[in-house]
Amino acid sequence: MTLPDGIARLCVTTPRLTASVLERPGAPGGPTVVFIHGNVSSSLFWQGAMRDLPAAVRALALDLRGFGDSEPLPVDATRGVRDFSDDVASVLDELGVGRAHVVGWSMGGGVAMQLLLDSADTVDSLTLVAPVSPYGFGGTAADGSLLTADAAGTGGGGVNPQFVLSLDAQDTTADAPTTARSVYRTAYVADPAAVTLEDTWVESMLTTVTGLGNYPGDSMPSDNWPGFAPGDHGVLNTMAPTHFNVSGIVDIPRKPPILWIRGTADAIVSDASFFDLNHLGAVGAIPGWPGEQAAPAQPMIAQTRAVLDRYRAAGGAYREIAIEGCGHSPHLEHPDVFNEALRDVLDV
């Protein structure tokens, strides 16, 4: 992959892993921004945002384990996303980055919140781009409590196996609704015709390493609808609500400012997500749905706002930007809005 001028790829070896990192140098003494990508993607998705930052800013974008060119180490989902956040911390330590502005997209937003929870003193600001709810993905009520004790319907069992097969086959076509290109067009962005470099984004998606220890992970049988519960291994299980909860950010003593930027037409992270099996059951896409009382859709946006409101009430500050008609990728779909908002956070 040819990178934009001024951006280079580094190979960084830490005690935890060998990671691939994109770097755009900044001015000596200038701020550092660290970009964390989402699920089924890589650091390539950040190249435009890195390029467009002011010259004084150093930009780093990491490939998480099992994505891009980083080492495909297995993921222990019982730690939530801590395998990922600890990897990020180890890379920053190896590069001598003591403090940084952290930007996380989708699953990467969860990784960024976990980093804030565990290492608040290293985070100058937090920018959440269409982030996973602080209570994980699926299976929770508005207050974050589990709908079933085993979080049935969440985790590694929820992925379409044909999508995994298309990743394995490195299928770059849009010949089926389950190929990476089709998923990009229908879920990652609201208007694919308005976004350039589609081949780059598809290539990035296809770097995803598949398997029980990586994407999507394993699952367990469940007596609750739809018949499976999250396992303990792999990417999707890191965000299962039995393993993941970063709502504790409201209690950290030092609270850096948070920017939350999202699209109102997001198909993945919303209060009616088409990747939430309870919502799919409600609209008839999955048979046997037990009803609204037993299996309501996860109110992802409402949950995030409630946690950030508590963060503010406890002495922190946050700003929410909702871009009308934007999908899951504000940094691709509305780069001017995203870049301006990030520059405001950096105050440069």
pLDDT bracket for residue 57 (50, 70, 90):
very high
pLDDT of 237 reads: 98
pLDDT of 143 reads: 98
Q: Find the mean pLDDT for residues 335-347.
A: 97
Q: Find the mean pLDDT for residues 106-112.
A: 98
Does residue 146 have a pLDDT over 80?
yes
Q: Find the mean pLDDT for residues 275-280.
A: 98
pLDDT of 328 reads: 98
Domains of the chain: 8-346 (3.40.50.1820)
Give the C-alpha separation, 236 to 156, whole Å: 5
The string of pLDDT tens digits covering residues 314-331 is: 999 999 999 999 999 999
pLDDT of 203 reads: 97
Interacting residues of 326 by C-beta distance below 8 A, sequence separation 6+:
190, 262, 263, 264, 265, 266, 333, 334
pLDDT bracket for residue 2 (50, 70, 90):
confident
Q: Find the mean pLDDT for residues 195-204.
A: 97
Give the C-alpha separation, 262 to 324, whole Å: 9
For residue 87, give Cα distances in angstroms to 71, 148, 168: 11, 31, 25
pLDDT of 267 reads: 98
Does residue 308 have a pLDDT over 80?
yes
Mean per-residue pLDDT over the chain, rounded:
97
Interacting residues of 256 by C-beta distance below 8 A, sequence separation 6+:
116, 120, 123, 124, 125, 126, 316
Enter the pTM of the model.
0.98
The torsion angles phi and psi of 159, rounded to 5 degrees, stand at -80, 150
Give the C-alpha separation, 269 to 182, whole Å: 18
Interacting residues of 35 by C-beta distance below 8 A, sequence separation 6+:
43, 46, 49, 50, 59, 60, 61, 62, 103, 104, 105, 108
Q: How many Å separate Cα 84 from the centre of its chain?
A: 11
pLDDT of 348 reads: 78
Does residue 341 have a pLDDT over 90?
yes
Percent of the chain clearing pLDDT 90 (strictly above): 98
For residue 346, give the H/E element and its range. helix 335-346
Query: How many CB atoms are located within 10 Å of the residue 136 CB?
Result: 30
